[in-house]
């Protein structure tokens, strides 16, 4: 099958490239600049600007599936995300290609302990970024293009340079890591290669147009995850939970901190996903144990020490 990954240089995009290449697909990796490790064969690079519909349309011509893995810098989400989706939708509609959209849990308000959220739950955002993501999902539903969605929780893994990456980098330095919420509430994280495998499985399946599938992670707490990361790095754990007031104050001078404060309720009252629909259709979801995923992620950070982290 011929697939194109839009935003192949990002954390999720690169993992989808790797998963698609391992599965033997004809892979096109689209982006302005794709730095880092060489692309795995038989993947080939397509250089283009995702804000230009012509570039995206050319990338989609002759392919079966397109993965929307574009992800602007966190501080620029509100401005940059809608036009990126608009050009991808227009290109998908013109070419008839199925667009696979990685959704997130920000479309929901605070979670409730012990409650698993299924695909039937309507969006109920309480943050700016949650309202943006909910609007993007609705835009996709109303677009007339072929699409499907896979909803993911927070993630970690190779090529990830967002929130969880800071804990891995701090552990390797023996420094303290800051966490934007309480350390002892039950949350879930998904290993990015597992998310990529699930996106590939859903996107290439028959009869999934218009469908949404939730991919749960493995339950843990931020403290347990951070301890495991530091243990893997051979360091004593050093973690500090940032009070919400401090996060809001930091947001007065930092766009990234302002964004983190906007969705901080999801760390205080986390959302956990119900994966029943995915399991019923595809079997057990990929679930790499934390020990293995953390070891692979630490290895990646050791090998790519100059990766620029966001936030």
> How confident is the prediction for the chain on average, in pLDDT?
93
Q: How far is CA 294 from CA 89, 90, 176, 251, 298, in A?
A: 35, 38, 18, 30, 6
What pLDDT was estimated at residue 74?
73
For residue 309, tell me if it sits in a domain: no
At 240-264, the pLDDT tens digits run: 998 776 666 655 555 556 667 778 8
Q: Is 4 helix (H, G, I), strand (E, B) or coil?
A: strand
What pLDDT was estimated at residue 1?
93
What pLDDT was estimated at residue 72?
86
Number of domains in the chain: 1
At 33-63, the pLDDT tens digits run: 766 678 988 899 999 999 999 999 999 999 9
Give the range among 69-73, 153-157, 187-191, 215-219 with minimum mean pLDDT: 69-73
**Are 204 and 19 a contacting pair, CB within 8 Å?**
no
For residue 308, tell me if it sits in a domain: no
**CA–CA dist 166, 44 (Å, integer):** 30
For residue 269, tell me if it sits in a domain: yes
Q: Tell me the sheet residues that pair with 5.
A: 29, 67
Pick the more confident residue, 306 or 134: 134
The whole-model pTM stands at 0.95
Q: Is 149 helix (H, G, I), strand (E, B) or coil?
A: strand
For residue 10, tell me if it sits in a domain: yes
**Are 134 and 123 a contacting pair, CB within 8 Å?**
yes
At 87-139, the pLDDT tens digits run: 999 999 999 999 999 999 999 999 998 899 999 999 999 999 999 999 999 99
Length of the chain (residues): 311
Residue 239 has pLDDT above 80, yes or no: yes
Tell me what the mean pLDDT of segment 205-209 comes to.
Answer: 98
For residue 311, tell me if it sits in a domain: no
Region of residue 101 (left: phi > 0; alpha: psi -120 to 50; beta: else): beta
For residue 248, tell me if it sits in a domain: yes
Residue of 134, 129, 126 whose CA lies nearest to 80: 129
**CA–CA dist 184, 202 (Å, integer):** 33
For residue 310, tell me if it sits in a domain: no
Please give the residue range of the domain that contains residue 13.
Answer: 2-303
Residue of 115, 112, 117 whose CA lies nearest to 277: 117
Give the CATH number of the domain where residue 32 resides.
3.40.50.720
At 135-183, the pLDDT tens digits run: 999 999 999 999 999 999 999 999 999 889 999 999 999 999 999 899 9
For residue 219, tell me if it sits in a domain: yes
């Amino acid at each position: 099958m011929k697939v194109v990954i839009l935003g192949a240089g990002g954390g999720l995009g690169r993992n989808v490239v790797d998963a698609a290449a391992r599965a033997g697909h004809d892979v096109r990796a689209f982006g302005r600049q794709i730095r880092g490790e060489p692309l795995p064969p038989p993947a080939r690079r397509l250089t283009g600007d995702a804000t230009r519909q012509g570039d995206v349309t050319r990338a989609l011509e002759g392919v079966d599936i397109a993965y929307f893995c574009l992800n602007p810098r966190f501080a620029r989400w509100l401005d940059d995300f809608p036009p990126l989706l608009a050009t991808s939708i227009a290109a998908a509609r013109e070419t008839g290609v199925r667009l696979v959209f990685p959704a997130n849990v920000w479309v929901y308000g605070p979670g409730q302990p012990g409650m698993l959220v299924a695909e039937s739950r309507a969006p109920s955002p309480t943050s700016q970024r949650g309202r943006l993501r909910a609007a993007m999902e609705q835009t996709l539903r109303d677009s007339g293009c072929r699409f499907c969605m896979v909803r993911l929780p927070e993630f970690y893994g190779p090529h990830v340079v967002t929130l969880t990456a800071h804990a891995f980098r701090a552990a390797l330095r023996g420094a303290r890591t800051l966490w934007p919420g309480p350390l002892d509430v039950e949350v879930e994280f998904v290993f990015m290669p597992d998310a990529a495998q699930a996106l590939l499985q859903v996107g290439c399946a028959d009869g999934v147009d218009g469908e949404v599938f939730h991919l749960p992670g493995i339950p843990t707490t931020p403290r347990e995850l951070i301890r495991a990361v530091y243990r893997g790095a051979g360091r004593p754990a050093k973690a500090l939970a940032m009070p919400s007031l401090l996060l809001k104050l930091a947001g007065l001078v930092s766009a990234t901190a302002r964004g983190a404060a906007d969705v901080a309720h999801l760390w205080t009252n986390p959302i956990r996903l119900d994966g029943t629909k995915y399991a019923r259709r595809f079997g057990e979801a990929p679930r790499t144990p934390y020990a293995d995923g953390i070891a692979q992620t630490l290895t990646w950070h050791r090998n790519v020490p100059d990766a620029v982290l966001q936030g």
